[in-house]
Amino acid sequence: MSVHIPLTAATTLIGSAIMCYAWVYLGIQIRDPQKPAQLSVRYMQKFFMHMMIFFVIMSVPYLWTNDVQRFSVSAAWAYVVGHIFMYMSLMYISRMTFSLIPKLSTYDKPLVFAWLSAITIVTAVNAKTMIWGVQPTYNYRLHLTEFHASPAVGIPLALMAMIAFVPAIILFAMSAIKMRGINRVKPILITIGFILITTAGPLHDNARTAQLYAIADIFTTIGMIVTLLGIAFHIQNELTQARPNRANVHAPSNTV
């Protein structure tokens, strides 16, 4: 008897592992007393933490793929509750961007208020249209989940992702342009990863065919892997820069 691993389940599990790795790594950097972390790094760590929780919650319903009704109910609740943490992760991307722009850094509290207000409204609509509306279903032929998210949720999610990620993408892209040589690799990888997540993530919530669900799952995973490569390259690049010259007493940068 062949065993099939649902594509959407594989995506959430891989996402959980990637976000956990990035969260732990940045947490170690933040706690290092010799390398004081910038506020932007703390916000980036919060982003990875909330995304990790989101993926873990979204993975739970796959324990019941053999029970159609139980899977649909648990997937609906996991979608609504999990997306609260995903929306929070977007808020921290915005806070990271604001913290890097002096003229905007003083507007952090209004930014948080705006995000929490939007999250509350979208979550209420999400619960109404999914938990007490059209619930997710599992496609046993294609081995993937069709969430049937309402356009009233999918469209705002796409807008929220763009509001959060586009300014961050611009900042990292500008950093890549200004840097030279090997130092360009990290911002380039993070820029590409963020672009893929920004496009594939909302596509998943707005998909109406199994093919689009699969495409969204695949490219979301690729985006997360590319983003992880950017974070992992940061480790190797710091070690490379710190090793050759013993006279250089400056600690490697602890920035994202």
Average pLDDT over the chain, rounded to whole? 83
Please, which pLDDT band fits residue 247 given cuts at 50, 70 and 90? very low
Structural domain that includes position 52: 7-237
Q: What is the pLDDT of residue 108?
A: 95
CB distance 68 to 75 below 8 Å: no
Q: Is residue 217 part of a domain?
A: yes
Lowest-pLDDT range of 116-120, 152-156, 177-181: 177-181
Pick the more confident residue, 27 or 142.
27
pLDDT attached to residue 148: 85
Q: Is residue 143 part of a domain?
A: yes
Contacts of 82 (CB under 8 A, 6+ apart): 53, 54, 55, 57, 58
Amino acid identity, residue 17?
Answer: A
Residue 47 lies in a domain: yes
Beta-bridge partner residues of 122 = none
CATH code, domain carrying 41 = 1.20.1070
Please count the structural domains in the chain: 1
Q: What pLDDT score was predicted for residue 4? A: 62
Q: Evaluate whether residue 174 is within a structural domain.
A: yes
16-60 residue pLDDT tens: 998 898 899 888 878 877 766 688 888 989 999 999 999 999 999
Residues 184-209 have a mean pLDDT of 84
Residue 256: pLDDT above 80? no
For tokens 């993937």, the residue is: 144
Domain for residue 253, yes or no? no
251, part of any domain: no
Range 181-208 average pLDDT: 84
Q: Is residue 244 part of a domain?
A: no
Q: Is 40 part of any domain?
A: yes
